A and B are shown apart, each in its own frame.
Chain A
Amino acid sequence: MLAISIEALIKIALLMGGLMTGAAYFVLLERWIAAWVQDRKGPNRVGVPLTKIKLFGLGQPLADGLKFIFKEEHTPRHVDKILFTLAPISILAAALAIYAVIPFGSVLPKDGIPGVSHQIELIVAPGIDVGMIYIFALSSIAVYGVILGGWASNSKYSLLGGLRSSAQLIAYELPMGLAIVGVVLMTGSLRLEDVIGMQAASGIWTAFSQPLGFVIFVVASFAEAARLPFDLPEAEQELVGGYHTEYAGMRLIVYLIAEFLHMITASFLIAILFLGGWHFWGITGSSTTEVTWFQAIARIVVLNIKIFGIIVFFMMIRWSWPRFRFDQLMSLAWKVMLPLGLVNLVAVACLVEYQPALESKLGAVGITASMWGIALVAWIAAGIFAPLHSDNTARKDSFVLEAESRNRGLRTTAPGQAT
């Protein structure tokens, strides 16, 4: 009992340390990439404290953290004080608790660690059989932090941010769930370790065999992490700061860390569910029971490189894509992503049901090719039949309103329909 607790505590400590440091340095990376995209220099001054060594600005996260800690912990008078404090705590707790079921490597070999006679699985709670639903449950708890923060602030900007956010998160949970169900059907398990094991054993990452699911999941996880182009909850140009407009000091940094953790979680999930997790051909091996030390470490490195790559992708997207309007966001979720998710689900279900027959007829390559074919057809169909969610012309029914207003003698011109 004690040994298990100590093992779990060590894993938790490693994860917490890694995640918090990671979040701090990803902020720096984000600022560097922003600077690079905009042809600026970015933060490059703060180095080792109390010296003149600059170190490319690597001391910046420390300075940022100190700044947040020493800022005035200002609570505006008009807020609901209890919920105002509770909201950031709940969102951070939910964001961290998700990592109980997310593997950050494979297993460690039996020999080599004194006092340990079994394989150590690099996941905090290796036995949970409902891992993916657990992730869903906690990401729905995270919605509370946003809603409560927006409501307790008692400010229009915050409330609008909270409203937008809750609608957005609920809407995009559906296509995300459909994409995950595809993976679960193929694996036959809800545990993330098993998903990686399946991909490693077959050597085909899920992204290759379910391209449609992959695209849906990536888009939905951008929306769930509230990153551009889905950052409507805190759209600076419209809402000042969205649901955390009224926050300052430690409570604000807790919100910001939670947001970064959501992005890191999304990267973990993309890497694990669709990009093979720790698996890479020729380096890591594919057995989950017999590993050498080299493989064990290579797997951790491979997983981390994948996650890093996805996070850089997240940050590049931020500077290449404009924000959606809210109706576009909703129509993308309900009229494009959801039907595509259903197509993917049906295709995967057929594949799983008739796998032996299909494999003998088409072979593994043929199956993958037909999945790509289905994805392409569905994509084109969505492009033709789905509403143009990115157009900026006025809504078609706006001339109803116009006719009405004319009847009342108020002549207005709908935007985009100027005569």
Chain B
Amino acid sequence: MMLTAVALSTIDKLALVACFLLGLGLWMLLPRGSSRGKAFGLVLTTVSLGLFAVRLWPLDDMVSDIVFYIMTAVTLVSAIGAVTMQSPVYCAIWFALTLLGTAGLFFFQGAQFLGVATIVVYAGAILVTFLFVLMLCNPEGHSLYDRLSWEAGLSAGTGALMTILLTWTAASVTFADARGNTVGPTIAVREEAPATIPFQSSKDAQGRNILAAQHVEKLGIELFTKHLLAVEVAGTLLLVALVGAVAIVAHGRTSGMPVITEEARRDA
């Protein structure tokens, strides 16, 4: 309850307006059967992203500022593209770009392994498998029914609600910086003291050094000591899934095959 109270007091109206505009813009952009209002939806989405951008924190040096905002913009814009495109192949490509942007943001925070693993697992394996299947569909052969988004209003509304919740959470989180000072809530404090509380750039914090020499080593030790049980359970789960997939294939084959009689064998 305490947290909610803090969050309600710290969130400002501009962020709420931005979320509302985002939901409206998304609803207009989604494929609803007519192309009317798409341009207006684009404008609304851009405006709302701009509103979010002006509330954000300036980082302590210009280079990280530029890199961070470019990657954020790429991630968000391509995420919007991924949900609003009509052709499934384009959705997949936009989603791949979202993943690349996310991986870039992970890298920016010093989580090298997570960043690279995102690309390998999601973009490299899962999405390629999607594309593999999508390629077998004719690009123009879908019925209109397949190319529409179902419940456009509901999904856009849920998205806006989700954004509001996330903004609340982000606005109410406080964390300790390297010097032990309490920092945040990030969005609301900006107007009061933009210069006195620098954002934690990845260079300052010891644990988040982008070029940490023993990044993977530390990660491995953490995973295989503290979280050993979780790793083992996840591994077992994957093994079960693998065996299950093989079992399904093998089962389908034996039951689908005609019985080879001795006569047929001889004849052949």
Residue numbers of A with Cβ under 8 A of B are 1, 80, 83, 86, 127-130, 133-134, 136-138, 140-141, 143-144, 147-148, 150-151, 154, 159, 162-163, 166-167, 170, 188-190, 397, 399-400, 402-404, 406, 417
Contact residues of B: prevailing secondary structure: helix
The answer to whether A130 and B113 touch across the interface, beta carbons within 8 angstroms, is yes
What are the interface flags for B113-144 relative to A under an 8 Å C-beta threshold, 1 for contact and 0 otherwise?
A: 10011011001110011011011100100000
Across the interface, A133 reaches (CB within 8 A) one of B63, B116, B260, B265, namely: B116
Q: Kindly state the separation between the CA atoms of A133 and B125 in the bound complex, as whole angstroms.
A: 14
Report yes or no: A404 in contact with B258, Cβ–Cβ below 8 A: yes
Q: Assuming the A-B contacts A154-B139, A406-B267, are A133 and B124 also in contact, with contact meaning beta carbons closer than 8 angstroms in the complex?
A: no
Contact with A along B255-267 (1 / 0, CB 8 A): 0011011001101
Given contacts A1-B63, A141-B119, A403-B260, are A151 and B89 in contact (CB under 8 A)?
Answer: yes
- The answer to whether B119 and A140 have CB atoms under 8 Å apart is yes
Residues from chain B with a CB closer than 8 A to the CB of A397 are 257
Total contacts A to B, CB within 8 angstroms? Answer: 104
The complex places the Cα of A196 from the Cα of B210 at a distance, in Å, of: 23
Nearest CB on B from A370, distance (A): 27
Q: Contact between B267 and A150 (Cβ–Cβ < 8 Å)?
A: no
- Are B89 and A163 touching (Cβ within 8 A)? no
Q: Which residues of B contact A143 (CB under 8 A)?
A: 124, 128
Interface status of B45 (Cβ within 8 A of chain A): no
Which stretch in B161-169, B194-202, B211-219, B226-234 binds the other chain? B211-219
Please tell me if the beta carbons of B117 and A141 are within 8 angstroms of each other in the complex.
no
Instruction: Tell whether, in the assembled complex, residue A130 and residue B112 are in contact, meaning their CB atoms are under 8 Å apart.
Output: yes
Q: B5 near A: Cβ within 8 Å?
A: no
**B211→A127 contact, CB < 8 A:** yes
Q: Which of B90, B120, B135, B260 contacts A163 (CB 8 A)?
A: B135
B124 and A140 within 8 A (CB): yes
Cα(A154)–Cα(B124), bound, Å: 23
Nearest-Cβ distance from residue B17 to partner chain A, whole angstroms: 34
Closest Cβ–Cβ distance, residue B62 to chain A (whole Å):
10
Given known pairs A137-B119, A141-B119, the reply for A83 and B131 (CB within 8 Å) is no
**Chain B residues positioned under 8 Å from A163 (CB to CB):** 132, 135-136
Complex CA distance for A159 and B216, rounded to whole angstroms: 39
Q: Of B120, B128, B131, B135, which one neighbours A136 at CB under 8 angstroms?
A: B120
User: For B210, what are the chain A residues with a Cβ–Cβ distance below 8 Å?
Assistant: 127
Residues of B within 8 A of A134 (CB): 116
Given A141-B123, A144-B131, A400-B257, also A130-B268 (CB < 8 A): no
Nearest 10 A-B pairs (CB), nearest first? A140-B124, A127-B211, A399-B268, A403-B264, A137-B119, A129-B215, A133-B116, A151-B135, A130-B112, A137-B120
Instruction: Name the residue on B nearest A162 (C-beta).
Output: B135
Chain B residues bordering chain A, tally (CB within 8 A):
39
A398–B127 Cα distance when bound, in Å, is: 35
Chain B residues within an 8 Å CB radius of A404: 258
Closest to A177 in B: B120
User: Bound state CA distance, A127 and B211, in angstroms?
Assistant: 5
12 contacts between A and B (CB under 8 A): A129-B113, A129-B215, A136-B124, A137-B116, A137-B119, A140-B120, A141-B123, A143-B124, A147-B135, A167-B132, A399-B264, A404-B258
- C-alpha spacing A137/B103, complex, angstroms: 11
A residues within 8 A CB of B258? 400, 403-404
Q: A137-B116, A144-B128 are in contact. List 18 more A-B contacts (CB 8 A).
A: A83-B90, A86-B93, A129-B112, A133-B120, A136-B116, A137-B123, A140-B119, A140-B120, A140-B123, A140-B125, A143-B124, A144-B93, A151-B139, A159-B135, A166-B131, A167-B132, A190-B216, A399-B264
Task: State how many angstroms separate the Cβ of A146 from the closest Cβ of chain B.
Answer: 10
**A147 in contact with B113 (CB, 8 Å):** no
**Alpha-carbon distance between A137 and B114 when the two chains are bound, in angstroms:** 12
- Given known pairs A129-B112, A140-B120, A140-B123, the reply for A83 and B93 (CB within 8 Å) is yes
Give the distance in Å from the alpha carbon of A186 to the alpha carbon of B89 in the complex.
41
Closest to B138 in A: A154
Min CB gap A183→B, angstroms = 14
One of A80, A400, A402 near B139 (C-beta < 8 A): A80
- Known A-B contacts A129-B215, A148-B93; the reply to A399 vs B265 at CB < 8 A is yes
Residues of B within 8 A of A129 (CB): 112-113, 211-216
Q: In the docked arrangement, what's the CA distance between A148 and B96, Å?
A: 12
In the complex, which residues of chain A have a beta carbon less than 8 angstroms from the beta carbon of B132?
A: 147, 163, 166-167
Identify the interface centre among A130, A147, A167: most chain B CB within 10 Å of its CB. Answer: A130
- Per-residue CB contact flags for chain B residues 236-268 toward chain A (1 = under 8 Å, else 0) read 000000000000000000000110110011011
Cα A295 to Cα B212 in complex, Å, equals: 29
Q: B120: which A residues are within 8 A, CB to CB?
A: 133, 136-137, 140
Residues of A within 8 A of B214 (CB): 129
Query: Chain A nearest CB: distance from B255 CB in Å?
Result: 14
Q: A159 CA to B214 CA in the complex, in Å?
A: 44
* Identity of the chain B residue whose Cβ is nearest the Cβ of A127 in the assembled complex: B211
- What is the CA–CA distance of A140 and B120 in the complex, to the nearest angstrom? 7
Q: Is the CB–CB distance between A130 and B260 below 8 Å?
A: no
Contacts of A189 in B (CB 8 A): 216-217
Residue of chain A at shortest CB distance from B134: A151
> Once bound together, how far apart are the Cα atoms of A397 and B123, in whole Å?
37
Residues on the B chain within 8 Å of A151, using CB: 89, 131, 134-135, 139
In angstroms, Cα B189 to Cα A235, docked, is 62
Once the chains are docked, how many angstroms separate the CA of A129 from the CA of B215? 6
Pick from A80, A151, A154 the residue with the most CB of B within 10 Å. A151
Are A130 and B216 closer than 8 Å at their CB atoms? yes
CB-based nearest A residue for B136 = A163
